[in-house]
Chain A
Amino acid sequence: MAGKRSVIPFGPQHPVLPEPIHIDLITEDEKVVEAVPSIGFVHRGLEQLVTKKDFGEMVYVAERICGICSFGHGYGYVNAIEHIMDIHPTDRARFIRTMLFELSRMHSHILWLGLMADAFGFESLFMETWKYREKILDMLEAATGGRVIFSIIRIGGLRKDVPDEVMQGFLPELDKVVEGIKSCEKVFLSDPAVLSRLKGIGYLSKEDAIALGCEGPFLRASGVDTDNRMRGYAAYSSVDFDIITSDEGDSYARCYVRIQEIYQSASIIRQCIEKMPKEGIYVPIKGFPNGEYMTVIEQPRGGACYYVHSSGRKFIERMRVRTPTFANIPALTKTLQGCDVADVPILVVTIDPCISCTER
């Protein structure tokens, strides 16, 4: 006999949520039967600005779509424009872009680990992981001059070169970060208290993950080996890396995939620094973009699509961004079905929600 159903509102303000998303949890006793999400609390209309900003200045706006994956958003927009204008950046620019992209991925994943620790109530682990994130932010600051918004990417290459000695200085720092994350990994992946909050919680099958259009680590944790970096944009075709997957499909698997991706990113950064070509960071551009292009890149949270349509004028006609969190929300509602109310915060965090990306 079915129990009495009640609706519990989750968000938009909630201690576990850094950004606002609202979910109506329809519950039967302590079990969630259905989850109805609603978004739209932080829409800023950034895509519309493309019709009012010079196409070169729009890079600054694109970077400000999100504070965590800002480099990726700038890169996605620039990549689309470069394809339209048939510009081929220099090798050094491609390698530095890849290195910065991977540093961003590392800092995003470490941030997620901290938020996860915070969600299951392990405060000291949260602070420990963020201690290592701080080192990544320092590296980004030394390379670009900014900690959150880098303003280094431009159409045709980079606005500023990163000196070789600065990049060589990253290698010992990376070792320290990897060592620190390894010490935290033991707690995340083998602590009995942590395992009780992660193992078997929020299971999503491979078939469901594909059918619901998941992206990124959330998809790979369900056993689907898809990674947009394999398309070989920037310098990813020149570095060696594998797709990290897990067949378990639960919160533990998502944690495992992200931790392994941190090590993988560190390895890609080392390869980039070793193979860094000399000279040349910028190719001059001529004229205005005329045409349309859609590019897909792998952001820390998953595949993000950037569509740009322009008709040979200074101002672009249309820009559209599809972010990974938007693709992961349907699967989130699926994983929430049948879980305990106490597990809802953890499950919301496992998709690594970035609402300001989603709503722009």
Chain B
Amino acid sequence: MSLVNFTKTELKNLFSKPATEKYPDGPATYKEGTRGHIVNNMDACVLCGVCQMRCPTRAITVDRKGQTWSIRPFSCIQCRRCVDNCPKKSLSMAKEYTEPDVEKSQMDFELSDRQKEVLAEQARQAAERAKAAMLATKQKTVQAKEDKPGEKPGADPDPGKADK
């Protein structure tokens, strides 16, 4: 009798649409939130290097001098740790899986011109602030030195002499 049962299933399968997708002939479908591959928005990245520190497989390299952000897609394990820790939210995960390749490649991304200008402007402002802070500290030190001789006579009287 059970053979008849399975014959029913087989007939049903024969006339229903396939359970699988015809990938790569057709597009592959992904669920919402599938961890496919890492994408970096080079308009928002500030090259802080947090992603490089957090990556468990050290797949990410941040080069501040050359202003590039690189990833080795075949070392990346799509754990999403860098995305969760990105302070500027420039990193995100795309649904599509990493594309196949013939060798273990590295993908380099350069900062966008606009972002380069923004970072340069920020660096200039930071340098100005640092310079101003340094000047303020210098002035404070000079002021303190000038104030010291005036304070000495009153602040440190010789109690022995007074007693005598």
Contact = CB atoms under 8 A, between A and B. Distances in A.
A208 interface: no
Interface of A is mostly: helix
Interface of B: 1-3, 5-6, 9-10, 13, 19, 30-35, 56, 77-80, 84, 93
Contacts of A142: 31-33
Contacts of B78: 146, 151
Interface in A106-144: 124-125, 128, 131, 134, 138, 141-142
A159 B80 contact: yes
A187 B79 contact: no
A53 to B, nearest CB: 7
B35 A187 contact: no
Nearest to B93: A145
B6 A125 contact: yes
A159 B85 CA distance: 11
Interface string A15-36: 0000000000000000000000
A175 interface: no
Interface of B is mostly: loop
Interface residues on A, range: 20 to 34
Contact of B33 (A145, A183, A186, A192): A145
Given A57-B56, A191-B6, A131 B19 contact: yes
Given A141-B31, A159-B84, A187 B19 contact: no
B31 A60 contact: no
Contacts of A196: none
A183 B13 CA distance: 13
Contacts of A183: 5, 9
Given A57-B56, A128-B9, A151-B80, A146 B35 contact: yes
